[in-house]
């Protein structure tokens, strides 16, 4: 695994994030080891740096992305930040469509990168942002390069080739269960595929909000949403629904009992991890925590 100390640019810092072992939360399962993949260590602050970089690089390689093009996509926030950071470094303009109810911190971060942000109807969630991004692309396709993160195969491929390999190496091949949230589906699909290529017995568990209207930024309730083209539910070994308030409470518990400040989707993932742990006699569960909590301090979870 590449040493971060060898990095030369901000983009070289993407990936190779640490695993952190939980000490208190989950202590009721002494024969279960719970490790979390700390994706907020990426320079853009989230797991989305990985697929955003891969999709941009593949766009350049194919010739579809050049300095005359504007990078356009929809996002609930983290991918937008990743695009904006990468575009700032590589000299591209970005146009990003996001639901209007994204956190104030996200807005300020994107403003710092001088990203052009279009806000969509918050009641339509990420689906409204998806539709608006596609409308803009169809209106002026020659202006834009649209990675389309929900349907771009290089989204899960980034995780298959990096996240999964890191987890395998960091656990010395002892991982038995992967737990990750569903947004685009890229993390759980790609990381799951990469791990199962090493050991087909590894269980892949996805976590989603229990309700269509929820406050878990970055996550999708699949039954009521546009299903991403990269998502295949049949691949999963299990899917767990988490109530918003339970995810919020677990997010607060992580800060207060483990000293780990993360976003609400990480709280949802930990809820899923503990449900899985309750089904096992022994095992090594790795949960992917998508981002840190600094982008959510003005949201309802901390009221």
Token pair in block for residue 164:
């999964």
- Beta strands 177-181 and 144-145 are unpaired
Rounded distance, CA 34 to CA 46, Å? 20
Q: Is the CB of residue 25 less than 8 Å from the CB of residue 274?
A: yes
- Beta strands 70-74 and 144-145 are parallel
Token pair in block for residue 87:
């575009």
Rounded distance, CA 290 to CA 206, Å? 13
Rounded distance, CA 233 to CA 226, Å? 14
Task: Identify which of 174, 177, 271 has the alpha carbon closest to the alpha carbon of residue 219.
Answer: 271
Give the SS3 label for residue 26: coil
Task: Kindly list the catalytic residues.
Answer: 48, 265
Q: Is 55 exposed, middle or buried (0-12, 13-18, 19+ CB in 10 A)?
A: buried
């Amino acid at each position: 695994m590449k040493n971060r100390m060898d990095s030369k640019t901000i983009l070289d810092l993407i990936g190779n994030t640490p695993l952190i072992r939980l000490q208190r939360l989950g202590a009721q399962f002494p024969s279960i080891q719970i490790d979390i993949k700390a994706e907020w260590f990426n320079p853009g602050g989230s797991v989305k740096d990985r697929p955003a970089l891969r999709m941009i690089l593949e766009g350049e390689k194919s010739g579809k992305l050049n300095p005359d093009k504007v990078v356009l996509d929809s996002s609930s926030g983290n991918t937008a930040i990743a695009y904006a950071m990468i575009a700032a470094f590589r000299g591209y303009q970005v146009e990003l469509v996001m639901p209007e109810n994204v956190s104030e911190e996200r807005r300020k971060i994107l403003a710092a990168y001088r990203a052009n942000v279009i806000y969509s109807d918050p009641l339509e969630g990420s689906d409204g942002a998806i539709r608006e991004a596609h409308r803009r692309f169809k209106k002026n396709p020659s202006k834009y390069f649209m990675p389309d993160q929900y349907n771009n195969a290089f989204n899960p491929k980034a995780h298959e080739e990096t996240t999964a390999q890191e987890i395998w190496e960091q656990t010395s091949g002892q991982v038995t269960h992967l737990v990750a949230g569903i947004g685009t589906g890229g993390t759980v699909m790609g990381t799951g595929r990469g791990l199962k290529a090493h050991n087909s017995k590894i269980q892949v568990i996805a976590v989603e909000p229990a309700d269509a209207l929820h406050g878990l930024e970055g996550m999708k309730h699949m039954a009521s949403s546009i299903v991403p083209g990269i998502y295949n539910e049949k691949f999963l070994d299990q899917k767990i629904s988490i109530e918003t308030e339970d995810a919020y409470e677990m997010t607060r518990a992580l800060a207060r009992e483990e000293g780990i400040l993360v976003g609400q989707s990480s709280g949802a993932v930990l809820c899923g991890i503990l449900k899985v742990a309750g089904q096992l006699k022994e095992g090594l569960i790795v949960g992917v925590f998508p981002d840190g909590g600094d982008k959510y301090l003005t949201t309802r979870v901390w009221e």
